[in-house]
Amino acid sequence: MRVLLTGGTGFIGSHTAVELLAANHDVFICDNLCNSSRETLTAIESITGRRPVFFESDIRDARAMRGILGDNGIEAVIHFAGLKAVGESCVKPLAYYDNNVSGTVTLLEAMQATGCRTLIFSSSSTVYGTPQKLPLTEDHPVGGVTNPYGRTKLIIEKILADLCAADAEFSAVCLRYFNPIGAHPSGLIGENPNGIPNNLLPYVARVAAGVLKEVNVFGDDYPTPDGTGVRDYIHVMDLARGHALALQYAAGRSGWDAINLGTGKGYSVLEIIRAFEKACGHPVAYRIAPRRAGDIAANWADPSKAQRLLGWRAERGLEDMCATAWNFQQRLLSGK
């Protein structure tokens, strides 16, 4: 299939590009490089032997999007492009609504204009807000989101549902990711956020590498077994495979759907630190810090819908997630 990956040079997009190329799809990437770099294309080529066709372009550029979709006969879009820093979204909400929501509307208009009617969207478990029950199933109520970033995901899901209701041929699958971590086993692609990481894993990796002093564990008084926050960490390679399967699923149907991509198992912050210590072979310094505003105590997925509809289940465990994240971190430091 001829597939466009918006945001395809980013963390999840680049791993998905590798997976799709390996499955013999024709991969096109459009990214404005606001949070990634062209070097990722060379890394993808080194891994797969094929280089995606790349457009340095913004999804808010209507003309460019029509051109990319129309000129290349794109049959389906996997829509990763978006801003994702929760804290920044509270400071610059309009930038988030403009980039994520307006950008998606522009993309969808271009898809309609060029007759492309299959979309996979990068949603998030954040749409569930504070869980009323665990594990989270897709029919758990959405809403109660605590920040503008999360609201953009919720709004986009609703826009896609409205579009599918209006256009009987449109197919939209919202993949609700839990906490993606880890890296490709080659260490050539992975997660490398600019500045001080917001998310736990890249922060732990930098402490382990001696770049940052210690991990701040945000709260040890949650109602969880060891008092620290519990999340469903999922290997980015498993997530990438989920996209390839979701693409097949979406292409053969019409209508709106939402599917969790998680492992079904939660780990605490302290368990993650311990697992990373094993992977890197030395202690990782941490201190207990106050809770972070907007955090929930625990969430993990019920991934049975993905198994039922896509034939997908996570295969890689926490050990592999930490080992590949550490491998990537070391390659970054060595500059190779």
Residues that bind ligand NAD (CB under 6 A): 6-7, 9-13, 31-36, 58-60, 80-84, 99, 103, 122, 124, 177, 179-180
The torsion angles phi and psi of 284, rounded to 5 degrees, stand at -115, 115
Residue 292 binds ligand UD1 (CB under 6 A): yes
Residue 126 CB, nearest approach to ligand UD1 (Å):
4
The DSSP string of 10-69 is: SHHHHHHHHHHHHTT-EEEEEE--SS--THHHHHHHHHHS---EEEE--TT-HHHHHHHH
What kind and span of H or E run contains 288? strand 286-289
Rounded CA-CA distance 67/71 in Å is 5
Binding-site size, ligand UD1 (CB under 6 A): 21
Do 306 and 315 touch, CB atoms closer than 8 A? Answer: no
Residue nearest ligand NAD by beta-carbon distance: 10
Which of the residues 68 through 97 are near ligand UD1 (CB under 6 A)? 84, 86
Residue 50 CB, nearest approach to ligand NAD (Å):
19
Residue 99 binds ligand UD1 (CB under 6 A): no
Which C-beta is closer to ligand UD1: that of 75 or that of 232?
A: 232
Which of the residues 163 through 192 are near ligand UD1 (CB under 6 A)? 179
Residue 154 CB, nearest approach to ligand NAD (Å):
12
Rounded CA-CA distance 248/259 in Å is 14
Residue 218 binds ligand UD1 (CB under 6 A): yes
Do 118 and 75 touch, CB atoms closer than 8 A? Answer: yes
Which C-beta is closer to ligand UD1: that of 80 or that of 149?
A: 149
Q: Which position among 96, 97, 128, 149 bears the catalytic label?
A: 149
Which of the residues 12 through 51 are near ligand UD1 (CB under 6 A)? none
Do 266 and 299 touch, CB atoms closer than 8 A? Answer: yes
Residue 129 binds ligand UD1 (CB under 6 A): no
Do 20 and 194 touch, CB atoms closer than 8 A? Answer: no
**Structure tokens of 173?**
């699958």
Residue 30 CB, nearest approach to ligand NAD (Å):
6
Do 6 and 30 touch, CB atoms closer than 8 A? Answer: yes
Binding region for ligand UD1 (CB under 6 A) out of 16-24, 162-170, 184-192, 196-204: 196-204
Rounded CA-CA distance 67/65 in Å is 5
Does residue 96 carry a catalytic annotation?
Answer: no
Residue 279 CB, nearest approach to ligand UD1 (Å):
17
From the list ligand UD1, ligand NAD, none, which binds 150 (C-beta under 5 to 8 Å, kind-based)?
A: ligand UD1
Residue 230 CB, nearest approach to ligand UD1 (Å):
7
Which C-beta is closer to ligand UD1: that of 187 or that of 229?
A: 229
> 285-290, long-range: CB within 8 Å, 24+ apart, which pairs?
285/207, 285/213, 285/214, 285/215, 286/207, 286/214, 286/215, 286/216, 286/217, 287/214, 287/215, 287/216, 287/217, 288/217, 288/219, 288/220, 289/216, 289/217, 289/218, 289/219, 290/218, 290/219
Do 56 and 33 touch, CB atoms closer than 8 A? Answer: yes
Residue 208 binds ligand UD1 (CB under 6 A): no
Residues assigned a catalytic role: 149
Which residues of this chain interact with ligand UD1, rule CB under 6 A?
84, 86, 124, 126, 149-150, 179, 198-200, 203, 215-218, 229, 231, 269, 292, 294-295
